Structure 1
């Protein structure tokens, strides 16, 4: 029976197109899907001679149904995807997403053209939300916090630099290309999946309506009853919560920018005359040292601590024999897993620097940093040893250092140890050669960053004789004999072991340096910048890091007797815990006169 159509092209039968208009019905009033006559040859894609579907009808139906099922699985996966790797459990995906129910209802109500537009937009939005969830997973795994869509874009440049330094140029390029391909694939596939499902919903309107009503009713019931599977609520609002959290985060970021600018403008020591600053340390060589990733877990986690605690106990004994005493406690860092610059600027500025926005604000201001206070007095020459700096570092002016030695001018001729450009013992040896060991002149205030304990903790250097260090070429054989980081990171137990060994090496290097090159005027303040990644600490670890002050002159430690810090290099469980931003003001107060009227407290 001939067809009375406005177009020679008939709708396909795999559920991938819109339902036919009245103008495409057969004379009998039925479409081919409803049992009407088959199209004649050459009039449609499925005729006897009309292509693969006509020649392989069973395979075509299987392919169509498989595509529909995969589309549904992909969309459900995106709707239920958690923001942390620990949430990837079977129970997480045995849930009813309210957003899927609402989306299906909307598609059923819209006319064909609006439905197509809505499906495309929904697919793109769902793809972007999936990318955001994956970013959250990565940030939680490394920094123990979610991705900030306003402030964290600059960190991708740092991540690319880390990859380039750790895996080489080719590895970094490959990783970047892989990320770009993944993002594009997610956007395209998610959009195609939603469009596919919208066609299926439209073609099977009655069944889709009933299913949507049933799922909607079920969602209301399980929500009211609080039904859970493996501790996870069956009723899901995952996407709605994600979007809501991001909206709140953006508002908080905008508010924080204003509040922090006001807090940063107030400084109790801004107008303190140079002659009244740091009077209790005049004539001393003061060394501030950050040990990368030296966190509380290194001291207290039984899987890591024995070797590290042994180094601290042995170091306390050795320094005592050399005439030094020590006091120690805990500081709470504003970051974890990475972002060392946030901790450095918090410690030095007396402000809580927890994101890039705050970091840019404070480092571009004229606020008095702790190291800058030494420079302001005119009584010290100030030096930075920054082996982790590999290119221009404009923020360095904030720290008030007369001279900065970075990886390019420390004279190192040895191999890199993964990300770390040189071993800690070499950095300290170069410091002694270039500055500390120079006779005469003013006392020295220095800031030293030790990087050997930086992720990925393989290969690791080892201690050698100080007279063997030379230009660092001696480390070639040590680096070649070290472990491969790829192999280490296949086993979480190995990761923790190598992390502990890295901290042990950094502590031994620093303690040995003070023992050999320290004198009666040496004052050392050393601390960790942050805890290591959650792969080492586990989830929900504190952000505390150890801090210690070492001095030969008893009067130096007498000045902080009211702090309540414990004796020795290892802080105990009951040692005081301060926020890291509190250190600057307490240090300047203890080693100098009290400032004028205090400004408003830093915003956290």
Structure 2
């Protein structure tokens, strides 16, 4: 036989048997796994359609309802031909995945900021969130968290798409049974809706996703309308045209400090988990002020923000406009609306400065606020460690203010805006008060920071986080009042307040947005000007003290201290 010849096949030789599939070898197990996957897919779809947007509303009763979207979706998928059905199932799953991600964002925003996620305005906050993670978890931890979030979003999108596709395929293979079940469930939904039946809360007949989509669309439309309306509102200003010589005439010659204490909310004073320590500190510091010849009056302001976005509270307080979102903030800071600090600058009678330890990059808003000079974290000379998000302890920031500005000889009094950041979440580690002459360049804080608590051990413990939050407020109040007692004079006037309440895990899910505000002065006549405000004597406001919206303070303050509204 030549090399090119091939041997003839033997026709009687049996072919090798094809390997049996796993399904064939384990038919019962495969059927059980298939039903389990189908049931899990159905549960995932129903969970996504019914999930609430607040963590405190995740109760069993919320999920024991009939989502109308599932009934309508099943009816459509049953009657569609194969190819259109697959396309519709994939698109529906992807959309449901996106809605689930948005719902999860709502849960997070409600937990931290006391409001839902705004799909128009809130994307810019992710940059701040990433910076916060970097400050609290380190660069590696922040990168890991970002990667985890991206992976989670992709998993949600893919799993939800596969779940809808799985349910669709099963219904098609069992079309008659699926049609009957859809009809029965649809009839039950109509009956429950007509009778208003409910278990322990929401009605059994649910249209959660439809209502939520409608709400998001309405919020987008409202946001876009608000932008134009607020631009017009910001141009109206009762004191915008007032000449400098008619502004703040009753405070001439006074050194005025406006200090914001991060997250200093009403809960710090009234929540039983923090009240004892904070109230004791306020009482002790009030006695120290009295002994040094100072008097004080206090009330409440309702902040435009909650749990974070401090700059919204700062701008609301200083501009006299209700700035409760980033779009309003951009609009007002790009304009020329008169701020409280700007009013001092316009008079020409004060040097105006800002002490901003939380600012770590260029801050063009300083011009809008009317500040002659801004000292940010890079210009305060701090050589010590960061305390989580806070770049430096409050006592150091105030010590640097004394060294750079307040303690120097000047030809005019000083108006200062000071942001105190040591009470910023995650409230660990917390600095400690040290003798003022030992503050130096901040290197002394190395040991204090290392001896402090780990943020991860505090922030996620519901009891510890409240305790440490209260301690951080005590530290900030101690720093500020001790500074005034030590370095203040007969011409010192201090206005200090919180910018917003702490997040819901500390203040409570139903907490108000109220923050304390106090005016401290050595000259009693300064407080006489606000006798008609009805505020409480001392630096702790009474529960019954007046509560004003934060945007009303600017005009009340300007009016009380001799400012004349511009003639129209």
Pick from 119, 125, 128 the counterpart of residue 155 of structure 1: 125
Q: Any stretches of 5+ residues in structure 1 without a counterpart?
A: 1-40, 599-604
Provide the residue aligned with 1:261 in structure 2: 231
Which digits, 9 at most, give the CA deviation of each residue in 1:433-469, with x for residues without a partner?
1100001321111000000000010111111111111
Tell me by how many angstroms 1:320 deviates.
Answer: 0.9
1:374-397 per-position Cα deviation (integer Å, ceiling 9, x unaligned) = 111111111111011111212222
What residue in structure 1 maps to residue 455 of structure 2?
485
CA distance in 1, matches of 2:358, 2:299: 26
Contact 1:48 1:54 in 2 (8 A): no
Alignment counterpart, residue 350 of structure 1, candidates 320, 338, 342: 320
Q: Separation in 2 of the partners of 1:440 and 1:124? A: 65
Q: Find the counterpart in structure 2 of residue 510 from structure 1.
A: 480
Match of 1:398 among 345, 368, 379: 368
Partner of 1:102: 72
Once the 2 structures are TM-superposed, how far is the Cα of residue 537 of structure 1 from its aligned partner? 1.1
Q: What residue number does 2:4 align with?
A: none
CA contact (8 A) 2:422 2:430 kept: yes
Q: CA deviation at 1:224?
A: 2.5
Q: TM-score normalised to the size of structure 2?
A: 0.95
Q: Aligned to 2:302, which of 329, 332, 348?
A: 332
Between the aligned partners of 1:84 and 1:574, the Cα distance in structure 2 is 30
Give the structure 2 partner of residue 495 of structure 1. Answer: 465
Alignment partner of 1:549 is 2:519:
yes
* 1:178 counterpart = 2:148: yes
How many positions carry a matched residue from both structures? 554
Give, in angstroms, the shift of residue 83 of structure 1: 0.5
Pick from 240, 262, 271 the counterpart of residue 292 of structure 1: 262
Question: How far apart are 1:165 and its partner, in Å?
Answer: 1.2
Tell me which residue corresponds to 1:272.
242
1:221 matched to 2:195: no
1:467 counterpart = 2:437: yes
Q: 2:8 corresponds to which residue?
A: none
Equivalent position of 1:316 in the other structure: 286
Residues 1:241 and 2:217 are matched in the alignment? no
Gaps of 5+ in 2: 1-14
Which of the residues 397, 413, 417 maps onto 1:447?
417
Query: Which position in structure 2 is the counterpart of 1:523?
Result: 493
Aligned-pair CA distance for 1:231: 2.3
Counterpart of 1:565 (choices 518, 535, 539) is 535
SS in 1 for 2:240: coil
Q: Secondary structure at the match of 1:233?
A: coil
1:382–1:403 Cα contact (<8 Å) kept: yes
Structure 1 segment 384-463 matched on structure 2, within 5 A: 384-463=354-433
For 1:289-326, what per-residue CA distance to the aligned partner results, in whole angstroms no more than 9, with x for missing partners?
00000001111112211111111111111111111110
What does the per-residue CA deviation read over 1:483-529, in whole Å, with 9 as the maximum and x for residues that have no partner? 11111134211111111000011001111000100001111000000
What is the RMSD computed on CA atoms of the aligned residues? Answer: 1.4
Separation (CA, whole Å) in 2 of partners of 1:453 and 1:200: 55
Choose from 283, 304, 307 the match for 2:277: 307
Equivalent residue of 1:232, what SS? coil
Counterpart of 2:135 (choices 165, 168, 171) is 165
Q: Distance in 1 between matches of 2:364 and 2:131?
A: 17
1:123 alignment counterpart: 93
Give yes or no for contact 1:414–1:473 (8 Å, CA) kept in 2: yes
User: Per-residue displacement from partner, 1:347-375 (whole Å, max 9, x unpaired)?
Assistant: 11100000001000000101111101111
Q: In the TM superposition, what whole-angstrom CA distance separates every residue of 1:402-458 from its partner, at most 9, and x where no partner exists?
A: 111111111111111111111111110110011000013211110000000000101
Cα displacement (A) at 1:60: 3.0
Q: Give the 5 Å matches for 1:353-368.
A: 353-368=323-338
Q: Does structure 1 retain, via aligned residues, the 8 Å contact 2:242–2:564?
A: no
Choose which of 71, 83, 87 in structure 1 pairs with 2:53: 83
* TM-score where L is the length of structure 1: 0.90
Do the aligned residues in 1 keep the contact of 2:428 with 2:468 (CA within 8 Å)?
Answer: yes
Q: 557-566 vs 446-455, which deviates more?
A: 557-566
Displacement, 1:230? 2.9
Tell me the CA shift for residue 118 of structure 1: 0.8
Name the CA distance, whole Å, in 2 between partners of 1:548 and 1:471.
30
Match for residue 195 of structure 1 among 165, 173, 176: 165
Separation in 1 of the partners of 2:247 and 2:563?
Answer: 7
Q: Return the alpha-carbon distance in structure 2 between the equivalents of residues 541 and 308 of structure 1.
A: 18
Distance 2:428 2:91 in 1: 45
